[in-house]
Structure 1
Amino acid sequence: MPSEIVLDELQTAAEAVELDREVAATLRDTGLVSVLPAHGGLWTVLPAGRVGAVQIGDLLVRVVPKEKVGLSRLLFLLGYAINPGFRPDDVVGEEKDDLFAALGESLTRHCERALDRGALNGYVHVEEALRTVRGRIRVGDQMTRRPGMLLPLEVAYDDFTVDIPENRILRAAVRLMMQVPRLSEGVRERLAHVDSKLEGVSALRFGAPLPAWTESRLNERYGPALRLAEIILRNMSAEAGLGQQVVASFVVNMATVFENFVTTALREALDKYPGETRGQYEAYLDEPELGYGKINQVKMYVDIVHSVNRVPAIVFDAKYKAASDSGTYPNADHYQMLAYCTALNVPRAWLVYAGSGEKRKRRISNTAVSIMEFPVDVSQHPEALLERVQTLADQAFGEFTQRKGPQRFTPWPAGKTGGVL
Structure 2
Amino acid sequence: MRRLTLPEHQARAFSPIARPIADALATTGAVKVSADLEGRTILKASSYVGVLRCGEVELRVTPKIGIHRLLWLLGHAHDPSGWRDDDIVGLATVDDLVTAVAVSFHTATRRALTHGVLQGYRTVEEALPLLRGRLREADQLRHRLGLVVPLEVRYDDYTVDIPENRILLTAARRMLRVPGLPLATHAGLRQLLTTLADVTPLVAGDKPPDTPTTRLTRHYQPALRLARIILSGRSIDQPSGSTAASGFLFDLNKAFEDWLTITLRRALEPYGGRLRDQYPSHLDMMRQLRIRPDLVWERRAQPAAVLDAKYKRVKDADRPHADLYQMLAYCTALGLPEGHLVYASGDAPSSHTVVEVGTRLRTWVLDLARPTEHILDQVNRIANAVAAAIV
Give the alignment's TM-score, normalised by structure 2: 0.88
Decide whether aligned partners of structure 1 residues 84 and 101 sit closer, same or farther in structure 2, where only a CA change above 3 A counts. Answer: closer
Residue 282 of structure 1, CA deviation = 2.9
Q: Which deviations, in whole Å up to 9, do the C-alpha atoms of 1:39-80 show, x marking residues without a partner?
A: 787533221442222134653212223xx2123333333333
SS at match of 2:292: strand
Q: Could you say which residue in structure 2 is the equivalent of 1:392?
A: 382
Q: What is the CA–CA distance in structure 1 between the aligned matches of 2:332 and 2:83, rounded to whole Å?
A: 38
How far does residue 350 in structure 1 lie from its aligned partner after superposition? 1.4
In structure 2, do the counterparts of structure 1 residues 298 and 19 end up closer, same or farther at CA, with 3 Å as the change threshold?
closer
Residue number among 199, 220, 223 corresponding to 2:221 in the alignment: 223
For 1:32 and 1:74, how far apart are their aligned partners in 2? 18
Structure-1 residue corresponding to 2:362: 372
The residue aligned with 1:212 is 209
1:241 Cα shift?
6.7
- Structure 2 unaligned regions, length at least 5: none
String of CA shifts for 1:160-195, please: whole Å, max 9, x gaps.
211001101101222332343422332233333433
Mapped to 2, the partners of 1:315 and 1:101 lie a distance apart of 36
Instruction: Tell me the SS of whatever aligns to 1:307.
Output: strand
SS at 2:295's partner residue? strand
What is the alpha-carbon distance in structure 2 between the residues aligned to residue 337 and residue 304 of structure 1?
Answer: 11
- The DSSP-based 3-state class of the residue aligned with 2:281 is strand
Alignment counterpart, residue 193 of structure 2, candidates 192, 195, 202: 195
Match of 1:84 in 2: 80
Check whether the contact 1:9–1:51 (CA below 8 A) recurs between aligned residues.
yes
Q: Which moved more, 1:271-280 or 1:374-383?
A: 374-383
Q: Map 1:395-410; keep pairs closer than 5 Å.
A: 395-401=385-391
CA contact (8 A) 1:27 1:33 kept: yes
Change (3 A) 1:86 1:5: farther
Which residue is equivalent to 1:314? Answer: 305
Identity across aligned pairs (percent)?
37
Seen in structure 2, the aligned counterparts of structure 1 residues 256 and 327 have a Cα distance that, compared at 3 Å, is farther
- Of 39, 42, 45, 2:43 maps to 45
Task: Provide the alpha-carbon RMSD of the alignment.
Answer: 2.9
Q: Is the 8 A contact 1:90 1:227 kept in 2?
A: no
Q: Give 1:137's match in structure 2, choosing from 115, 135, 138.
A: 135
- Quick one: distance in 2 between partners of 1:239 and 1:308? 44
- Is the 1:72–1:91 Cα contact (8 Å) retained in structure 2? no
1:321–1:116 Cα change, 3 Å: same
Q: Which amino acid aligns with 2:337?
A: P
Give the distance between the partners of 2:158 and 2:232, measured in 1 at CA.
Answer: 28
The count of residues paired between Structure 1 and Structure 2 equals 388
**Distance (whole Å) between structure 2 residues aligned to residue 58 and residue 91 of structure 1:** 34
Distance 1:85 1:23 in 2: 43
Aligned with 1:320: secondary structure?
strand
Classify the secondary structure of the residue corresponding to 2:352: strand
- 1:22-421 matches, cutoff 5 A: 22-36=20-34, 43-56=41-54, 59-65=57-63, 68-89=64-85, 91-93=87-89, 94=91, 96-205=94-203, 207-217=204-214, 218-237=216-235, 239=237, 248-286=246-284, 288=285, 296-324=287-315, 326-401=316-391
Distance 1:3 1:383, change over 3 A: farther
Distance 1:238 1:355, change over 3 A: closer
Which residue identity does 1:178 align to in structure 2?
Answer: L
Deviations for 1:201-251, whole angstroms, at most 9, x for unmatched residues? 12334x241441232213222222112112223324365879xx9854222
Are the aligned partners of 1:75 and 1:91 in contact in 2 as well (CA < 8 Å)?
no
Q: Which residue of 2 aligns with 1:11?
A: 10
Q: Which moved more, 1:30-39 or 1:372-381?
A: 30-39
State the alpha-carbon separation in 1 of the partners of residues 36 and 82 from structure 2. 44
2:360 and 2:82 mapped to 1: Cα distance? 34
Deviates more, 1:56-65 or 1:38-47: 38-47
User: Does structure 2 retain, via aligned residues, the 8 Å contact 1:322–1:329?
Assistant: no
TM superposition shift of 1:118: 1.7
Alpha-carbon displacement from aligned partner over 1:118-154 (angstroms, at most 9, x marks no partner): 2211111101111110111122222333332211111
Structure 1: segments with no counterpart, 5+ residues: 289-294, 402-421
Q: Is the 8 A contact 1:37 1:43 kept in 2?
A: yes
Q: Distance in 1 between matches of 2:98 and 2:291?
A: 39
Q: Retained in 2: the 8 A contact 1:282–1:299?
A: yes
Report which of the two structures shows the higher radius of gyration computed on alpha carbons. Answer: 1
CA distance in 2, matches of 1:42, 1:335: 37
Mapped contact 1:6–1:61 kept (Cα < 8 A): yes
